[in-house]
Each structure stands twice: as structure tokens, then as C-alpha cells.
Amino acid sequence: MSFIQVIGVYQTFFIKNPNTLSSYIPIKALENINIEIAQNITFSIVGESGSGKTTLGNIILGSLKPSKGDVLWKGKSIFSKEVRKEYIKNVHTVSQNPFSSLNPRMNVRSIIIEPLIFRDKLTKKEIENRLLSVIEEVKLSKDILYKYPHELSGGEKQRVSIARSIISRPSIIVLDEPVSSLDVSVRAQILNLLKEIKIKHNLTYIFISHDISTTRFISDYLMILYKGITMEIGESEKIFSNPTNPYTKLLLFSVPGQEIIKEFPKVQRNEEGKCPFYSRCPIAKEICKTEPLPPKKISENHISYCHNV
């Protein structure tokens, strides 16, 4: 049994029709998502803006119930009453933008210990000990504890977010673009820190990024999403060494200095197909217009969804 299973998940949002304002337009954010996540691995979700990464992250966090499908944790639905309370204690998040995710009116100390106040009945001494140990783990000095978010650098803010996310000792952390707002020089430090913390606490990471190259450093498994549909999924190194889906190739081609994909012809068709990538795909066939994407097994733990592989 997998640690986390995402089973046949669909998410449709309804937004007001700007023309009538009285009717609603459906936005298909996710379509038939199926994932198996083992414990203690980093599972990355990669795709362009609007591909459904945050929506899927929120569903795995349990903060959004999908329109259809389920998420199981140790075999049981995270949305069931009996599991929900326990699951919420076990999962935490670090979000994209440390500038807006930290409460500006709280000092660092209060921000970090807040999850403990809500979740656990610990003594003052126990809270203090936990605080000092997470501060040390994320390599922040004690001087920072009485500062406010606006007095911190981007890297320090993200370290505070990470300290906050691990203080209640969860087993799963959803990291939604944790380094994308940081300077390149700070990114590697934060990624290294996340790796260290994961090993120390036997954590399972769901790592969300629009940048496929960042995920290579940290992922064990990788899922490529496009317009809410899975394009390729599998062991990270298998996908990087043998990318098969045209959309994965486009993402890799867009990475400066990436030698795997040397060429990617630019295409723009004025019609949509069943394959969400049809209008941009250089090797599209007639069948891509009308038939849903078939799963093609490339090797053990590596599946590509495409009519042309």
C-alpha cells in the first residue's frame, strides 16, 4: 500500500460568465489525476503557470476537496471524519511567497510556534525547546526571534517558513514553489537545507515547481502536468535521462544550458485537441485531436501519456 494515493482526481472550478454575469463557466483545473507516493520520497509536480499544480497541492494537503476522486493516506480517505483530524496534524505546507505568507504583525518567534499552540498540548518549556531546536536546524540565529518579517531577507523568511512547517513534526510537507521567489544564490542553500531536513525527519515532500531544472536536484519522482492533465510521470532520473513526451521536451528545451533537448520547433495551431498540448505540439497526429491520451509504459516506473511515443 502506498503512503499517499491520489485516485481519479478531477477538479472543476466555476467562475462567473463575464458576458451574462448570471451564469457560470466551468474551468477544468485537473482531470483524472492518479498518483502513488511512497513514504520518505520527494514527489515533484512540474508544469507551466495555470497547469493545476497548486490545486493538486491543496487537494493533497486536504484543504480542498476534489470535485471527483479521492486522496488516501495509509489506505484511508483524508476527507473521511475518522482520518481527517490525524492527517491534518501530519501535513504542513511551505508556500511560494515568503513575503506574503508570514503574518507581518507577528514576530518570528510567534510565527514559528503558532502551529504548536493550535495543534498540541505542550508545556511552555517543551515549546521553547522545540523552538530552539528548529531554529538551529534551519540555521538561523536566536537574534532573529524578535524581528518582524519586514526586517528579514528573502532567504531568512523562507527559513522561518520551513522552521514553522517542521515544528509540529509533520510527516508530509507540501512545498509550493519554495525557492522560485528567491535570488539564484539563495536557492541552492534553501534546497540543500530542505534535503537535510527531509533526511533527518524522514519526511515525504510534495515539491511543486514551474522550473523542471530545480526539481532534478531534489526529486525522486516527477509528474509533468499540462492544463490539468498528466503528460509524463515516473522516477525522476528516468524522465531526465529519457524524456519522451513532447511537452516534457519543451520544458527541458526551455532550460538554459540543458543539453538533453537541442531543438524544439515552434508550432502554433488554431485548434484545440483532446491532447491539451495539441495546439503547440510539433509532432501532433490526427488522432491527438480526437482521442484521449493513452498511457505508454516506457520502462518500470516511467509512463508517458502521448499518441506518438
Ligand X SMILES: Nc1ncnc2c1ncn2[C@@H]1O[C@H](COP(=O)(O)OP(=O)(O)OP(=O)(O)O)[C@@H](O)[C@H]1O
- List 63, 283, 290, 299, residue binding ligand SF4 (CB under 6 A): 283
CB of 196 to ligand SF4, least distance (A): 37
* Contact partner at residue 3 from Mg ion, ligand X, ligand SF4, none, CB < 5 to 8 Å by partner kind: none
DSSP string, 250-302: HHHHTSTT--S---------SS--SSTTGGG-TT--THHHHSPPPEEEEETTE
Contact residues toward ligand X (CB under 6 A) are 13, 15, 27, 29, 47, 49-55, 210
C-alpha cell of residue 60: 493533497
Binding marks (x or -) toward ligand SF4, 218..257, rule CB under 6 A? Answer: ----------------------------xx----------
Closest CA relative to residue 47, chosen from 56, 37, 39: 56
- List 42, 51, 54, 101, residue binding Mg ion (CB under 5 A): 54
3-state helix, strand, coil in the chain (%, to 5): 40, 25, 40
Which helix (H) or strand (E) segment holds residue 88: the answer is helix 81-90
* Contact partner at residue 50 from Mg ion, ligand X, ligand SF4, none, CB < 5 to 8 Å by partner kind: ligand X
- List 277, 298, 302, 303, residue binding ligand SF4 (CB under 6 A): 277
Q: Which is nearer to ligand X, 53 or 307 (CB)?
A: 53
CB of 52 to ligand X, least distance (A): 4
* Contact partner at residue 61 from Mg ion, ligand X, ligand SF4, none, CB < 5 to 8 Å by partner kind: none
DSSP string, 45-69: EE-STTSSHHHHHHHHHTSS--SEE
Q: Does 279 bind ligand SF4 (CB under 6 A)?
A: no
Q: Does 87 bind ligand SF4 (CB under 6 A)?
A: no
Q: Rounded to the nearest 5 degrees, what angle is found at the Cα of 216, between the Cα atoms of 213 and 221?
A: 130
Between 154-166 and 124-137, two packed helices, what is the crossing angle to 10 degrees? 130
C-alpha cell of residue 76: 484511508
Task: Please work out the total of residues on this chain that contact ligand SF4, with binding judged by CB under 6 A.
Answer: 14
* Contact partner at residue 306 from Mg ion, ligand X, ligand SF4, none, CB < 5 to 8 Å by partner kind: ligand SF4
- List 61, 83, 179, 288, residue binding ligand SF4 (CB under 6 A): 288
* Contact partner at residue 29 from ligand X, Mg ion, ligand SF4, none, CB < 5 to 8 Å by partner kind: ligand X
Q: Which is nearer to Mg ion, 168 or 214 (CB)?
A: 214
d(CA 111, CA 167): 11
d(CA 84, CA 233): 28
* Contact partner at residue 243 from ligand SF4, ligand X, Mg ion, none, CB < 5 to 8 Å by partner kind: none
Beta partners for residue 204, in sequence order: 172
Between strands 302-305 and 76-77, the pairing is unpaired
Region from 48-56, 65-73, 251-259, 285-293 binding ligand SF4, contact rule CB under 6 A = 285-293
Burial class (CB in 10 A: 0-12, 13-18, 19+), 6: buried
- List 78, 233, 293, 298, residue binding ligand SF4 (CB under 6 A): 293
Which residues are at the interface with ligand SF4 (CB under 6 A)?
Answer: 246-247, 275, 277-278, 281, 283-285, 288, 293, 306-308
Residue ranges that bind Mg ion, judged by CB under 5 A: 54
